[in-house]
Amino acid sequence: MLMDDMGWGDLGVYGNPEKETPNLDAMAADGMVLPDFYSANPLCSPSRAALLSGRLPIRNGFYTDNAHARNAYTPQNIAGGIPDSEILFPELLQKQGYRNKIIGKWHLGQQPHYHPLKHGFNEWFGAPNCHFGPYNNINTPNIPVYRDADMEAVTFLQKQASSQQPFLLYWAVDATHGPLYASRQFMDTSRRGRYGDAVRELDYGVGIILNQLKSLGLDNNTLVIFSSDNGAATYAKQKGGSNGPFLCGKETTFEGGMREPTIAWWPGKIKAGQVSHQLGSLMDLYTTIISLAGIEKPTDRIIDGIDLSATLFQNNIEDREIFYYRGDELMAVRMGIYKAHLWTWSNSIQEFHAGTDFCPGQIIEGVTTHDQTNYTAQPLLFNLGTDPGEKYKIKPESAEYKQVMPNIIAAVNKHKSELVKGDPQLNYCDSHLMNWAPPGCEKLGRCLKAVPSDRNLCTWPH
Amino acid sequence: MLMDDMGWGDLGVYGNPEKETPNLDAMAADGMVLPDFYSANPLCSPSRAALLSGRLPIRNGFYTDNAHARNAYTPQNIAGGIPDSEILFPELLQKQGYRNKIIGKWHLGQQPHYHPLKHGFNEWFGAPNCHFGPYNNINTPNIPVYRDADMEAVTFLQKQASSQQPFLLYWAVDATHGPLYASRQFMDTSRRGRYGDAVRELDYGVGIILNQLKSLGLDNNTLVIFSSDNGAATYAKQKGGSNGPFLCGKETTFEGGMREPTIAWWPGKIKAGQVSHQLGSLMDLYTTIISLAGIEKPTDRIIDGIDLSATLFQNNIEDREIFYYRGDELMAVRMGIYKAHLWTWSNSIQEFHAGTDFCPGQIIEGVTTHDQTNYTAQPLLFNLGTDPGEKYKIKPESAEYKQVMPNIIAAVNKHKSELVKGDPQLNYCDSHLMNWAPPGCEKLGRCLKAVPSDRNLCTWPH
Ligand SMILES: [Ca+2]
Ligand SMILES: [Ca+2]
Chain B positions in Cβ-Cβ contact with residue A337 (cut-off 8 Å) = 191
Compute the distance from residue B14 Cα to the ligand 1 centre, in Å: 25
Chain A positions in Cβ-Cβ contact with residue B14 (cut-off 8 Å) = 15
Task: Among the bound ligands, name the one nearest to the CA of residue B232.
Answer: 2
Contact A361 B391 (CB under 8 A): yes
| DSSP strand pairing (A274-275 vs A32-34) | parallel
Task: Verify that A187 and A280 share a domain, yes or no.
Answer: yes
- What is residue A141's predicted lDDT score, i.e. its pLDDT? 58
Distance CA B105, CA B202 (A): 14
- Mean pLDDT, range A400-404, rounded to an integer: 98
Chain A positions in Cβ-Cβ contact with residue B360 (cut-off 8 Å) = 391-392
Task: Verify that A74 and A155 share a domain, yes or no.
Answer: yes
Distance CA B156, CA B149 (A): 11
Task: Verify that B331 and B255 share a domain, yes or no.
Answer: no
Contact B385 A191 (CB under 8 A): yes
- What is residue B444's predicted lDDT score, i.e. its pLDDT? 78
Q: Where are the beta strands (DSSP E) in B142-268?
A: 167-172, 224-228, 262-265
- Candidates A26, A13, A40; CA nearest to A228 is A40
Residue of A44, A248, A359, A458 marked catalytic: A44
pLDDT tens digit sequence for B60-71:
999 999 999 999
- Mean pLDDT, range B354-361, rounded to an integer: 97
pLDDT tens digit sequence for A277-332:
999 999 999 999 999 999 999 999 999 999 999 999 999 999 999 999 999 999 99
Helix B283-292 × helix B44-53 angle, to 10°: 30
Instruction: Judge whether residue A29 has pLDDT over 60.
Output: yes
Contact B361 A247 (CB under 8 A): yes
pLDDT tens digit sequence for B179-206:
888 888 999 999 999 999 999 999 999 9
In this complex, how many residue pairs, one in chain A and one in chain B, have their CB atoms less than 8 Å apart?
Answer: 109
Q: Name the minimum distance, in Å, from the CA of A34 to any CA of chain B.
A: 9
- What is residue A226's predicted lDDT score, i.e. its pLDDT? 98
Q: Report residue B306's pLDDT band, with 50, 70 and 90 as the boundaries.
A: very high
Contact B277 A191 (CB under 8 A): yes
pLDDT tens digit sequence for A345-397:
999 999 999 999 999 999 999 999 999 999 999 999 999 999 999 999 999 99
Helix (H, G, I), strand (E, B) or coil at B225: strand
- Mean pLDDT, range B336-360, rounded to an integer: 97
Task: Verify that B10 and B49 share a domain, yes or no.
Answer: yes
In a domain, A450, yes or no: no
Contact A238 B15 (CB under 8 A): no
Q: Which residues contact B170 (CB under 8 A, 6 or more apart)?
A: B2, B90, B100, B101, B102, B103, B104, B121
Distance CA A363, CA A350 (A): 17
Transcribe A341-379 into DSSP letters.
Answer: ESEE-S--HHHHHTT--SSTTB--TTTS-SS-EE-TTS-
Q: Which residues contact B369 (CB under 8 A, 6 or more apart)?
A: B344, B345, B346
Q: Report residue B134's pLDDT band, with 50, 70 and 90 as the boundaries.
A: very low
Is the Cβ–Cβ distance between A59 and A420 less than 8 Å? Answer: yes
Task: Verify that A330 and A187 share a domain, yes or no.
Answer: no
**Alpha-helix residue ranges (DSSP H) falling in B54-166:** 57-60, 89-95, 149-163
| DSSP strand pairing (A262-265 vs A32-34) | antiparallel
Residue of A107, A119, A177, A462 marked catalytic: A107
- Candidates B321, B329, B326; CA nearest to B304 is B321
- What is residue B437's predicted lDDT score, i.e. its pLDDT? 83
Q: Report residue B127's pLDDT band, with 50, 70 and 90 as the boundaries.
A: confident
Instruction: Judge whether residue A71 has pLDDT over 80.
Output: yes
Is the Cβ–Cβ distance between B120 and B58 less than 8 Å? Answer: no
Instruction: Judge whether residue A406 has pLDDT over 90.
Output: yes
Question: For chain A, how many helices (H) and strands (E)?
Answer: 12, 18
Instruction: Judge whether residue A101 has pLDDT over 90.
Output: yes
Contact A363 B360 (CB under 8 A): no
Task: Verify that A194 and A330 share a domain, yes or no.
Answer: no
Chain B residues with a Cβ under 8 Å from any Cβ in chain A: 9, 12, 14-19, 29, 33, 35-36, 190-193, 195-196, 237-238, 242, 244-245, 247, 275, 277, 337, 360-364, 383-389, 391-392
- What is residue B141's predicted lDDT score, i.e. its pLDDT? 59
Task: Verify that B218 and B347 share a domain, yes or no.
Answer: no
In a domain, A221, yes or no: yes
- Mean pLDDT, range B348-371, rounded to an integer: 97
Dihedral through CA B353, CA B357, CA B362, CA B363, nearest 10? -40
Q: Which of B33, B245, B391 shows the shortest C-beta gap to A360?
A: B391
Compute the distance from residue A25 Cα to the ligand 1 centre, in Å: 22
Q: Name the minimum distance, in Å, from the CA of B241 to any CA of chain A.
A: 9
Q: Which residue from B minimizes the CA distance to A359?
A: B362
- Candidates A456, A434, A438; CA nearest to A447 is A438
- Distance between first and last Cα of chain A: 28
CA A343 to chain CA centroid, nearest Å: 21
In a domain, A435, yes or no: no
Distance CA A189, CA A166 (A): 37
Task: Among the bound ligands, name the one nearest to the CA of residue A240.
Answer: 1
Contact A190 B385 (CB under 8 A): yes
Contact B238 A193 (CB under 8 A): no
Q: How many folded domains does chain A comprise?
A: 2
The b/e string for B425-458 (b: 16+ C-beta within 10 A; e otherwise) is bbbbbbbebbbeebeebeeeeeeeeeeeeeeeeb
Domain range enclosing B354: 325-417
- What is residue B115's predicted lDDT score, i.e. its pLDDT? 95
Q: Which residues contact A449 (CB under 8 A, 6 or more apart)?
A: A436
In a domain, B431, yes or no: no
Task: Verify that B337 and B194 share a domain, yes or no.
Answer: no
Mean pLDDT for chain A overall: 94
- Upstream peptide bond of B75 is cis (omega within 30 degrees of 0): no
Kindly tell me the sign of the dihedral angle through the C-alpha atoms of B443, B444, B449, B453.
Answer: negative
In a domain, A451, yes or no: no
- Which one of A320, A336, A369 terminates a domain? A320
- Which one of A288, A303, A320 terminates a domain? A320
- What is residue A350's predicted lDDT score, i.e. its pLDDT? 96
Instruction: Judge whether residue A410 has pLDDT over 70.
Output: yes
B107 classed as catalytic: yes
Residues, beta carbon < 5 Å, ion ligand 1: A 4-5, 44, 229-230
Distance CA A343, CA A324 (A): 10
- Candidates B262, B459, B231; CA nearest to B359 is B231
- Proportion of chain A above pLDDT 70, given as a percent: 96
- Proportion of chain B above pLDDT 70, given as a percent: 96
CATH assignment of the domain containing A297: 3.40.720.10
pLDDT tens digit sequence for B245-265:
999 999 999 999 999 999 999
- Proportion of chain B above pLDDT 90, given as a percent: 87
- What is residue A134's predicted lDDT score, i.e. its pLDDT? 42
- Mean pLDDT, range B147-166, rounded to an integer: 92
Distance CA B301, CA B303 (A): 6
Compute the distance from residue B238 Cα to the ligand 1 centre, in Å: 31
CATH assignment of the domain containing B351: 3.30.1120.10
Task: Verify that B310 and B371 share a domain, yes or no.
Answer: no
**Alpha-helix residue ranges (DSSP H) falling in A164-228:** 193-215
Looking at residue B112, the DSSP 8-state letter turns out to be G
Instruction: Judge whether residue B144 has pLDDT over 70.
Output: no
Mean pLDDT for chain B overall: 94
Task: Verify that A396 and A316 share a domain, yes or no.
Answer: no
CA A272 to chain CA centroid, nearest Å: 25
Task: Verify that A329 and A240 share a domain, yes or no.
Answer: no
pLDDT tens digit sequence for A120-170:
999 998 888 776 544 445 565 555 455 677 889 999 999 999 999 999 999
Distance CA A461, CA A431 (A): 19
- Candidates A150, A361, A348; CA nearest to A246 is A361
Distance CA B146, CA B114 (A): 21
Contact A245 B245 (CB under 8 A): yes
Contact A337 B191 (CB under 8 A): yes
**What predicted TM-score, i.e. pTM, was given to this entire model?**
0.96
Q: Which residue from B minimizes the CA distance to A10?
A: B15
A44 classed as catalytic: yes
The b/e string for B275-298 (b: 16+ C-beta within 10 A; e otherwise) is bbbbbbbbbbbbbbbbbbbebebb
Q: Which of A245, A384, A391 shows the shortest C-beta gap to B360?
A: A391
Pick the residue of A13, A27, A34, A191 with the most B CBs within 10 A to test the interface with B by mutation: A191
In a domain, A283, yes or no: yes
- Proportion of chain A above pLDDT 90, given as a percent: 87
- Which one of B320, B336, B363 terminates a domain? B320
Exposed/middle/buried for B301, CB within 10 Å: 0-12, 13-18, 19+? middle
Residue of B68, B107, B113, B441 marked catalytic: B107
Task: Verify that B132 and B231 share a domain, yes or no.
Answer: yes
Chain B positions in Cβ-Cβ contact with residue A12 (cut-off 8 Å) = 275
In a domain, B438, yes or no: no
In a domain, B83, yes or no: yes
